[in-house]
Structure 1
Amino acid sequence: MYENLREKLWAYITHNNPDLMFTLQEGYSVKTYLEDKIHKVMPMVLDLISEGKPGHAIEELALQEMTKELRPSRFNYIKDVVTREFPTEYNKFREAGVLTYECINMIETCNDIFETFGFCETKQEDNRLRHAVIARVHDYLSI
């Protein structure tokens, strides 16, 4: 179970939060981060096991808990903005193999906007947030 949780958490991070992935790798703290997250959900996992819940359900619930603070994904939000609003640049970055890198840079450029709007699952549909991010990404792409 532990190894499955570790693999699922890392897969989630690499797919939805590559900015975190790179930060953890730079700081040589991947193992510590993953172990800490798993350690925090283990009481819940043990309770679910004692209740007789199936393994796949336990893993899903544990993953949801471990990734709660990582949702919604700023990376996926930025990628969606670039895909929809700047398709030429999106295709250029994708074809050059730098899409992830550029999206991570755009996240850093937009962090103050995300903080100002309190970016969360309920606010990710806010048109003011989207327009502020679009304007900032436009400025980023114009540099």
Structure 2
Amino acid sequence: MQHILREKLWTYIVDHNPELMLSLQEEVSVTAYLTEKVNGIMPLLENMVAEQAPPYLIEEACLKELTAELKPSKFLYLREVVEQEFPEQYEALRDCGTLTYEIVNLIGECSELFAEFGFRENGENTSLRYAVIAQVDGYLR
């Protein structure tokens, strides 16, 4: 089960937090990170196994705990903003294979805005969105 959880956590990171993926790969600490995170939820895993919970429920609960601090995804938020507000640039970046790289760069460019306006999973912050659109516009020009 631990192996499965490490694989699923890595897949989640690749899909939702590629900036973390790149950072972990640069530091050559992917395995250590995944192992540390899975070891951190071992009490939950062991309790659910002891309670004879079905494997799919164990996996779901463990993944929810493992990914909690990775949410919300700034990457997905910015990708959506670029796709909706700058469709031509989005398509061009996607077609040339640099979309992920540029969105990761935009996370850094918008980090002060995320801190200033607050970035939460629930609810759309219109002020943040307009500020991000302006920042992305300046970045893409």
When normalised by structure 2's length, the TM-score is 0.98
Dislocated runs of 4+, deviation >3 Å: none
* Structure 2 equivalent of residue 70 of structure 1: 70
Residue of structure 1 in register with 2:91 after alignment:
91
Aligned to 1:29: 29
Deviation per CA, 1:38-65: give whole Å up to 9, x if none. Answer: 0110100100111111111111111110
Which position in structure 2 is the counterpart of 1:121?
Answer: 121
**Structure 1 position 14, deviation (Å):** 0.2
Q: TM-score, normalised by structure 1?
A: 0.96
Unaligned runs of 5+ in 1: none
CA RMSD of aligned residues (A): 0.8
1:118 CA displacement: 2.2
Which residue pairs with 2:54 in the alignment?
54
For 1:118, give the aligned amino acid.
Answer: G
The whole-number CA distance in structure 2 between the counterparts of 1:36 and 1:114 is 27
**Aligned twin of 2:104:** 104
Identity score, percent: 48
Q: CA deviation at 1:122?
A: 2.4
Superposed displacement of residue 128, structure 1: 0.6
| Structure 2, gaps ≥5 residues long | none
Whole-angstrom distance in 2 between the partners of 1:135 and 1:78: 12
Look up the match of 1:136: 135
Q: Distance in 1 between matches of 2:85 and 2:118?
A: 22
Count of residues in correspondence between the two structures: 141
